[in-house]
Amino acid sequence: MLKDLTRLDRAFQALADPARRGMLSRLARGPASVSELAQPFEMSLPAVMQHLKALEDSGLIRSEKKGRVRTCRLQPGVLAAAEQWLVDRRSEWEKRHDRFEEYVMELKDKGD
């Protein structure tokens, strides 16, 4: 459980950066080289590599090097775990909201 939480923490930390989310959006269309991922961003190649390292360390992507080209691919497992965590929290929040709404309606009925 603690290992999963650490992985989830890393995923959310990686997802907090807009450049990383942009890279993930590009990878959702298929594998891409580092230079393809760097193209839309005005940052140095070392900065792009740091972002990709954070994404890879979080488990959101994996990369492989063939010759001089490093290609990155999306790894959906960690993203699915983050999505499930959000779905579970949303369900809890909606139940609380429903109970609060019922309580407010009871108070309103008693006041009439």
Q: What is the pLDDT of residue 5?
A: 59
Domain count, the chain: 1
Residue 60 carries which DSSP code? S
Average of per-residue pLDDT values in the chain:
88
Q: What is the pLDDT of residue 95?
A: 76
pTM, to two decimals: 0.74
Residue 66: enclosing H or E segment and its boundaries?
strand 61-66
CATH number of the domain at 59, please. 1.10.10.10
Domain interval for residue 65: 2-111
For the residues 104-108, what does the mean pLDDT come to? 77
3-state secondary structure at position 43:
coil
* Beta carbons of 75 and 63 less than 8 angstroms apart: no
